[in-house]
A and B are shown apart, each in its own frame.
Chain A
Amino acid sequence: MSAAAEMVAEVTYRDACRMALRDALVRDTRVFLMGEDVGHYGGCYAVSKGLLEEFGPERIRDTPLSESGFTGIGIGAAMNGMRPIVEIMTVNFALLALDQIVNNAATIRHMSGGQFGVPLVIRMATGAGRQLAAQHSHSLEGWFAHVPGLKVLAPATIEDARGMLWTAIEDPDPVLIFEHVMLYNSGGPLAAGAGAVPIDKAAIRRAGQNVSLITYGGSLPKALKAAEELAGQGIEAEVVDLRTLRPLDDETICASVAKTRRAVIVDEGWCSGSLAAEISARIMEKVFWSLDAPVARVCSAEVPIPYPEHLEQAALPQVPAIVAAAKGVVG
């Protein structure tokens, strides 16, 4: 590792996202950013603050409130040689662009017999915890992870916020990046030389022998905190950060579960038909005979995410529930 790479700076997740955008804009003139309030306002979560001044209105483009329209424009631009980054304010609004994402971006390579591709990156915020009420707070990334033709990423760490974007831009097919709203203010060290990271492997964020806590995105800090508490009670939890929600890294998931023989999946989506359900099914299919307990899930309550703080918090996966689930499967 070079001396530069060893130098670290304290940055926030938001800073890391911005560094990634800036790096991509500098590296490749085909890259441009497009979305609601990304320019003059600096982004709804202030991720693109300052980029308009640096790169100008051709490359940092404010759009009307028209998710289907600007997502479709992004697809067209990608098909014609550009490397667009489309920002959708929250995944809740991405439903307005679902037709473009599912029927066009995800299908064109297949339907054209490989003649056309859509090297498009769509970033969007996801998740609850900011008292923004149901229409701004749902975790719908699992829906997109259902769709063949898409890659779905969920950076949960500073390094991944900094490093996943460039790898996604280099991908010849559409990649969706989900940034959890509660991570933007989280801080941590980032090596000065930090750069692109792989987007095809899950990561073990904490090693343990007794139970695997499988999670991603905004639930990762909660799982790590739960693992800390469990360690105090003599239970060594292994924390698996999925990082990529489609395609899932079955190998890492199954190796961890085969080792610990117990799995708790922590997913801010709703339980029914969720990513957690899919992961659970894969564990059954691939490592059933290694299990020492039924797979447990800690998901959001099956309600529209409530506005009042105490109800919102009650609806979300929380550390005590993760600890209880882990103790439940350890017995």
Chain B
Amino acid sequence: MPSLGADMEAGTLVEWLKQPGDKLHHGDIIAVVETEKGAIEVEIFMDGIMGRQLIAPHTKVPVGTPLAIIEGVAGEQAKAAPKAAEAPPAPAVSKPIAPTAAPGAAIRATPAARKAAAARGLALDGLAGTGPEGAIQLADVERELSAAGAPAARKGLDLDKMRHAIAAAMTRSKRDIPHYYLATTIDMSRALAWLAATNAARAPEARLLPAVLTLKAVAAALRRYPKFNGFYNDPGGFVAREPIHIGTAIAIRGGGLVSPAIHDCDRLSLDELMAKLRDLAARARDGRLRSSELTDPTITVSSLGERGVESLYGVIYPPQVAIVGLGKIVPRPIAVEDKIEVRPVMAATLAADHRVSDGHLGSLFLNAVDARLQEPEKL
């Protein structure tokens, strides 16, 4: 049972999507697991053949329980797939099973690796070890964490559970993270003009939304100010992340909220970003997110512009260290040189972890977002 969040303790296997004997390829979705965040599709990170399934559907098991045995490839012994498994009826272990971070599991992982994986909710099964006797060591976990994660949601969302998870994360955030808040107003006239010109020649379904520009601008600014892109964990402090995976807060009808990651946001073209955004929003509301999308964000961007809110001050999602809030783009009279003009403006806010950065750096970061939105053609 993969851990799909630092607060997750157990999950329910909803269904198997692969049956014993099926061929598996890296990236295949092999099962669906229900968590507080909703139904998550479980990916497999190795090639092989589905062997014995240790856990029956509708069984709830603790994180780390082996779910199934993946028959090895090329003479390798069977390894456990990252899967959910079960606690009470202990599976008769006749074959080597690669469990996740479960205590007493047969996975060969070092204490340092286990601790880091547990802190980040990473399942160890399926990770390749480079330590002594093939042990998974800290460097392997860090490599995996900086790459991508697990599977995703599917089926209906349990909004009560989601509310519970949000409560836990936000309580932890407000308890542990000394937030500071900054705001600036960004003139969006150039960005909107460029969008209008670009969209004019496009079919409606191919048009870009302003959110694409703002996300890309945030990503570009993060590249320059890495102190807002990464994780803060208690022992060890802040570790910046090389990839920029922006969690995009998406409201769920009926209540609730998810912030799936758009991976490598700074490397995507505007069109790719737009496609990702549409896909994510659709799947999020449908409850079909992948676990890597839920566990990977290195920063969050939240926008309530659609809801008519002009500014919002976010609560950081631990262990991230910053959240950017974007308000509605509204026409406002502003001073342009020595005249007053009506221009579309947007309030951009930053809530950041004061343990990691100071207001001075935060200001530079917000200014960098602003600067990039003044040159939309370069995004």
> Which residues from chain A sit less than 8 Å from chain B, CB to CB?
261, 288-294, 328-331
Residues 105-152 of B at the A interface (beta carbon under 8 Å): 110-115, 130-133, 135, 137-139
Shortest C-beta distance, B370 to chain A (Å), equals 40
List residues of chain B with CB within 8 A of the CB of A328. Answer: 132
Cβ-defined contact, B112 with A331, below 8 A: no
Interface centre among A292, A293, A330, by most chain B C-beta atoms within 10 angstroms, is: A292
Instruction: Please tell me which one of the listed residues A288, A289, A331 contacts residue B137 in the complex, with CB atoms under 8 A apart.
Output: A331
Cβ-defined contact, A261 with B112, below 8 A: yes
List residues of chain A with CB within 8 A of the CB of B138. Answer: 261, 292
Cβ-defined contact, B111 with A288, below 8 A: yes
List residues of chain B with CB within 8 A of the CB of A331. Answer: 130-133, 135, 137
List residues of chain A with CB within 8 A of the CB of B115. Answer: 289-290
Cβ-defined contact, A292 with B130, below 8 A: no
Additional A-B contact list (7), CB under 8 Å, known A292-B139, A294-B132, A328-B132 = A289-B111, A289-B112, A290-B112, A293-B131, A331-B130, A331-B131, A331-B137
List residues of chain A with CB within 8 A of the CB of B113. Answer: 292
Interface centre among A288, A289, A328, by most chain B C-beta atoms within 10 angstroms, is: A289
Residue of B whose beta carbon sits closest to that of A330: B132
> Which residues from chain B sit less than 8 Å from chain A, CB to CB?
110-115, 130-133, 135, 137-139
Residue of B whose beta carbon sits closest to that of A328: B132
Interface centre among A293, A328, A329, by most chain B C-beta atoms within 10 angstroms, is: A293
List residues of chain A with CB within 8 A of the CB of B132. Answer: 293-294, 328-331
Shortest C-beta distance, B358 to chain A (Å), equals 27
For the complex, give the distance between the alpha carbons of A288 and B114 in Å. Answer: 11
List residues of chain A with CB within 8 A of the CB of B110. Answer: 261, 291-293
List residues of chain B with CB within 8 A of the CB of A330. Answer: 132
For the complex, give the distance between the alpha carbons of A293 and B131 in Å. Answer: 7
List residues of chain B with CB within 8 A of the CB of A289. Answer: 111-112, 114-115
List residues of chain A with CB within 8 A of the CB of B139. Answer: 292
Residue of B whose beta carbon sits closest to that of A261: B112
For the complex, give the distance between the alpha carbons of A294 and B137 in Å. Answer: 11
List residues of chain B with CB within 8 A of the CB of A291. Answer: 110-112
Shortest C-beta distance, A158 to chain B (Å), equals 36
List residues of chain A with CB within 8 A of the CB of B137. Answer: 261, 292-293, 331
Shortest C-beta distance, A129 to chain B (Å), equals 30
For the complex, give the distance between the alpha carbons of A269 and B73 in Å. Answer: 46
Shortest C-beta distance, A230 to chain B (Å), equals 15
Cβ-defined contact, B131 with A290, below 8 A: no
Shortest C-beta distance, A287 to chain B (Å), equals 9
Cβ-defined contact, A290 with B135, below 8 A: no
For the complex, give the distance between the alpha carbons of A294 and B138 in Å. Answer: 14
For the complex, give the distance between the alpha carbons of A293 and B114 in Å. Answer: 12
For the complex, give the distance between the alpha carbons of A90 and B300 in Å. Answer: 68
* Between-chain CB contacts (< 8 Å), 5 pairs: A290-B111, A290-B112, A291-B111, A292-B112, A293-B137
List residues of chain B with CB within 8 A of the CB of A329. Answer: 132
List residues of chain A with CB within 8 A of the CB of B133. Answer: 331
For the complex, give the distance between the alpha carbons of A293 and B130 in Å. Answer: 11
Shortest C-beta distance, B92 to chain A (Å), equals 29
List residues of chain B with CB within 8 A of the CB of A261. Answer: 110, 112, 137-138
List residues of chain A with CB within 8 A of the CB of B131. Answer: 292-293, 331
For the complex, give the distance between the alpha carbons of A292 and B130 in Å. Answer: 11
For the complex, give the distance between the alpha carbons of A288 and B111 in Å. Answer: 6
For the complex, give the distance between the alpha carbons of A291 and B130 in Å. Answer: 14
For the complex, give the distance between the alpha carbons of A290 and B112 in Å. Answer: 4
Residue of B whose beta carbon sits closest to that of A327: B132
Shortest C-beta distance, A90 to chain B (Å), equals 38
For the complex, give the distance between the alpha carbons of A261 and B109 in Å. Answer: 13
For the complex, give the distance between the alpha carbons of A122 and B111 in Å. Answer: 42
List residues of chain A with CB within 8 A of the CB of B111. Answer: 288-292
List residues of chain B with CB within 8 A of the CB of A290. Answer: 111-112, 115
Shortest C-beta distance, B278 to chain A (Å), equals 43
Residue of A whose beta carbon sits closest to that of B136: A292
Shortest C-beta distance, A259 to chain B (Å), equals 11
For the complex, give the distance between the alpha carbons of A328 and B134 in Å. Answer: 11
Shortest C-beta distance, B135 to chain A (Å), equals 7
For the complex, give the distance between the alpha carbons of A306 and B110 in Å. Answer: 38
For the complex, give the distance between the alpha carbons of A329 and B131 in Å. Answer: 8
Question: Closest 7 interchain pairs by CB?
Answer: A331-B131, A331-B132, A292-B137, A292-B110, A289-B115, A291-B111, A292-B112
For the complex, give the distance between the alpha carbons of A289 and B101 in Å. Answer: 13
Residue of A whose beta carbon sits closest to that of B114: A289
Residue of B whose beta carbon sits closest to that of A329: B132
Shortest C-beta distance, B253 to chain A (Å), equals 43
Shortest C-beta distance, B65 to chain A (Å), equals 22
For the complex, give the distance between the alpha carbons of A261 and B132 in Å. Answer: 12
For the complex, give the distance between the alpha carbons of A294 and B131 in Å. Answer: 11
Shortest C-beta distance, A77 to chain B (Å), equals 50
